Each structure stands twice: as C-alpha cells, then as structure tokens.
Amino acid sequence: MSTNFSVPEPTPQLVKVAESAKEASISLGQSTNKQRCEALTEMANALNDNADEILKANVQDLERSEKEGLNKSLLSRLQLTKTKLKGCIDGVLKVSNLADPIGKRQLHRELNENLILERVTVPLGVLGVIFESRPDALIQIASLAVRSGNGALLKGGSEAKDTNQAIMDSLDKGLRKANVGSGALSLLTTRQESLGLLRLDKFVNLIIPRGSNELVQFIQENTRIPVLGHADGICHLYVDNSVDIDKAISIALDSKIQYPAACNAIETLLIHEDIAEMFLKKGLPIFSSEGVTLKGDTKSQALGVKNKADESDWSKEYLDLILSIKIVRNVNEAIEHIRKYSSRHTEAIVTEDKMVAEKFLSSVDSAGVYHNCSTRFADGFRYGFGAEVGISTQTLPPRGPVGLEGLVTYRYYLRGDGDLVKDFASGDRSFSHIDLPL
C-alpha cells in the first residue's frame, strides 16, 4: 500500500527528526522507573516556571485564531486558562504516581534446567501523536509517553502553534534537567509533517489521534502503523420488556445527556415493543424537558415521538442532544440491529431478567457490554486505569479504554548456558516447562 498512498513521502528533514527521536527513545526506554518519575517532576516544574510564557503564547494563538474566524467551540478548546494549565501540571505529577508499566514480568518459565524463559514488558519505541486544538492534550500525552519510556512525535493544530511550542520548550527543559531521553519528544509543526508521519513506519510504532472522527478515520485509512483510537462511537441502549421503567429512563438519560459529545454517549435507544408505550408515555416529557430531540421509527412515532428517523439515523453519531429510537420485537432483534449499526464501542441492556441480560452480554461483540448501568462508564479513569491513552474499537487487544499498558509491548528473554535445539530434537533432553514465580 505504501506505493499508492494518498499521503506524501516524509521529507528527509522529517526522517532526521524521527531518527533522533528514535535514538533518544532508546535511552529513555532503558531508564529506571526513578529516572522517569524524576523526568516527569522536572517537566511539571518547568511548566510551572514557564507558566506565564505559555499563557502569553496561548493568548497570541487565541487572538490570531479569532481573527481567522475559528469557531467558538474550537476557541474554547484552544484556550488555556491559568486553572486549566495548573490542572495539566497536576496531571503530569499524577502520571508519575502511576505504576511503572515497564519491566513487568508476564511469564517466567523453566524450559529445562538452567534454560529460563521470561516475558517482560518494554516500551513500544516512538509514538506518533496527532491532536487538534487542545494544547492540554500535548501535556497529557507527552507525560504518558515519558512514563512508559516512549519517545513521541507530536503534531498539534496550527491554531495552537505558539502555545504548543512554549509547552514543548518546557517539557524538553524538564527532560534535559532530569538528563534522561532529552530529544525523545519532538513537536511537528506543518501539515506536511503530520502527513509524512503516517509514512514513518520504520520509526513510529503507534499512532494516537486526538480529534474529530474525520481525523481519526483519515489516519486509520492512510497509515500502516497501528492506530490506537476509534472513529465513530455509535452506542446503543436496549430496554427489555421485563424492566423497571424508572431505572430504564434514568439510565437512558444518563447515557445520552450526561455528556452528549462523548464517544460513549448513546445515539440509539432500542425498546421492546411490549413496554414501548409505557416507557415513552413516561419518558417523552422527561426527554423533552431535558432538551433531547427524539427521532423515531414508524412505531415509536405512533407512540408520540415527533420526528422521523430515516435509515441514515441508525449509523449517525449525533454528538448532541439527539437520540434515535427504534421499537423491536425482542432482544434478538435488538442484537441484530446492534450488529448491523454499532461501531462496537459500548452497548447496554436494561432488564430485570438475568437470562436475557447474559444472552445480550455474550451475543454483542463490542468492547464494552453493560447490564443495568450507563454507557458513560466506558472510560479509563472510571475503570481504574489511572490514565486513558484512548478508547479502541478494534477487535484485537488493546480494546476498549486503554491505559498505560497500551503504550508498552513485551520481549522474550531466554537465558541458558550453551543450550542447543539439536539435543531436544534428538531426545537427549526434553522440555520441563515448569512455571516459576512471576
């Protein structure tokens, strides 16, 4: 595919940047937990020391972007207040308090006397991070990268270029002070570079996109480097017939309105026909009082849903106070609908029937499948991971909310004393395969 990409070859200059990030990431990857924690502390200190410069730079970005007519929601994402920056700096220190993901022994096995196999976690190498607007994303991802011993090439939105540069200067100052892996973090500034980044499969081991669905989808379709993330988040809630209506309504509401722009908010509500009338009779006024626009199939329109949902609604991520509603004959029809339209992020069922719940959980193959709770729980922090690198809707692991463990891989170490395969092939020796304590 590399031959017929729609993205340009990386420039020699970009390749140089990637090579030196790779070089620096090797020493960072071999640093001790203590060194990496010190690096994060120094990064936080440097951000503190340079807070005024960073905020000044952010004001420049805001003024320029406003002149250039950047829309309000993007401007608010771009804005870095003193409080927001303080929060980011606290975040860096929190990351340093997370358990070290590196050097974890996952497997420890004797293959034969004095022939010992180990599987140990190691950093991935270099991350490629592409994020829009939010300068706080730069601080967060950079600290996660350093925590996990990875270098990173980071490309932010051009609207935030002054802020990002000021932040990166502080981060590198911190790394240099801690004297571990200085140069492992590098800021890309041009769109040309962020496209070239997608072709750096020799140097970049994982791409982390932070931005619109369009951005993520473009990246997924234009790189051979693994991408950690998801495009659409089309989540479903199915309300079964054996149900506590109030519980169902409150879960549906929370799943939709608690943060409508989130990927784990529901877009479609599936309702069992037996209780549809009761549910909507009680639910419609509540949804409307909460400002939720409902779009329904023919059956639900007959039960009072004002707007019509057409075929395209079932695969639409509204990211807004809009909810499509479909009435189904039973759990099987709900499962079929989900298989057809879900983005395999998170789906939930509300039912008091445990059998039906377990059928739903075993039949729906999304990263998260929930019973009697809000889909909004799909989040690395709520899962207790301490950090969230991203939420993956891929089938292969890491899947769902991904913490620091998504930024590491493993390596097999085998230590012997002159051991040869021919002796095992001949039968002179045989494998013991005794697991040893981790």
Using CB under 8 A as the binding rule, the residues of this chain from 215 to 274 that contact a copy of itself are 220-222, 224, 226, 244, 247, 250-251, 254, 258-259
Looking at 34, 416, 436, 438, which residue binds a copy of itself (CB under 8 A)?
416
The two tokens of residue 332 are: 């099987």
Judge whether 397 and 71 are in contact, CB under 8 Å: no
Q: Is residue 26 part of the contact set for a copy of itself (CB under 8 A)?
A: yes
The two tokens of residue 333 are: 């029809």
User: Which range of residues in 79-87, 107-115, 230-238, 288-296 is near a copy of itself by CB under 8 A?
Assistant: 107-115
User: Which range of residues in 60-68, 231-239, 319-327, 399-407 is near a copy of itself by CB under 8 A?
Assistant: 399-407
Q: Is residue 124 part of the contact set for a copy of itself (CB under 8 A)?
A: yes
Looking at 28, 43, 111, 167, which residue binds a copy of itself (CB under 8 A)?
111
Site for a copy of itself in 376-395 (CB under 8 A): 376-378, 382-384, 394-395
User: Which range of residues in 70-78, 121-129, 268-276, 295-303 is near a copy of itself by CB under 8 A?
Assistant: 121-129
Taking the C-alpha atoms of residue 187 and residue 189, their distance in angstroms, rounded to an integer, is: 6
x-marked contacts with a copy of itself along 181-220 as a string, rule CB under 8 A: ------------------------xx-------------x
Which of 316, 378, 321 has the alpha carbon at shortest distance from 343?
316
Which of 103, 361, 311, 337 has the alpha carbon at shortest distance from 236?
337
The two tokens of residue 260 are: 């409508």
Q: Which residues contact 334 (CB under 8 A, 6 or more apart)?
A: 236, 238, 270, 272, 328, 349, 360
Q: Is residue 30 part of the contact set for a copy of itself (CB under 8 A)?
A: yes
* DSSP letter, residue 227: B
Looking at 8, 87, 285, 397, which residue binds a copy of itself (CB under 8 A)?
397
Number of Cβ within a 10 Å radius of residue 415: 10
| Residues present in the chain in total | 438
**φ/ψ (deg, to 5) at 414:** -125, 120
**CA pseudo-torsion sign 393, 394, 396, 401:** negative
Q: Is residue 396 part of the contact set for a copy of itself (CB under 8 A)?
A: yes
* DSSP letter, residue 99: P
In the complex with a copy of itself, the residue whose CB is nearer, 70 or 389, is 389
Q: Min. distance of Cβ 270 from a copy of itself in angstroms? A: 18
Judge whether 170 and 49 are in contact, CB under 8 Å: yes
Looking at 89, 115, 235, 309, which residue binds a copy of itself (CB under 8 A)?
115
Beta bridge partners of 120: 105, 411
In the complex with a copy of itself, the residue whose CB is nearer, 82 or 416, is 416
Q: Is residue 419 part of the contact set for a copy of itself (CB under 8 A)?
A: yes
Q: Min. distance of Cβ 353 from a copy of itself in angstroms? A: 13
Residue type, 354: K
Q: Is residue 5 part of the contact set for a copy of itself (CB under 8 A)?
A: yes
Q: Min. distance of Cβ 115 from a copy of itself in angstroms? A: 6
Q: Min. distance of Cβ 11 from a copy of itself in angstroms? A: 21
Burial class of 325 by CB neighbour count within 10 A (0 to 12, 13 to 18, 19+): buried
**φ/ψ (deg, to 5) at 323:** -140, 130
Number of chain positions touching a copy of itself (CB under 8 A)? 74
Residue 52 vs residues 48, 75, 318, 386: alpha-carbon distances, Å: 8, 20, 38, 29
Taking the C-alpha atoms of residue 90 and residue 16, their distance in angstroms, rounded to an integer, is: 33
In the complex with a copy of itself, the residue whose CB is nearer, 51 or 120, is 120
Judge whether 307 and 192 are in contact, CB under 8 Å: no
Q: Is residue 109 part of the contact set for a copy of itself (CB under 8 A)?
A: yes
In the complex with a copy of itself, the residue whose CB is nearer, 167 or 200, is 200
Looking at 55, 117, 275, 278, which residue binds a copy of itself (CB under 8 A)?
117
In the complex with a copy of itself, the residue whose CB is nearer, 68 or 417, is 417
x-marked contacts with a copy of itself along 327-366 as a string, rule CB under 8 A: ------------------------------x---xxx-xx
In the complex with a copy of itself, the residue whose CB is nearer, 75 or 245, is 245
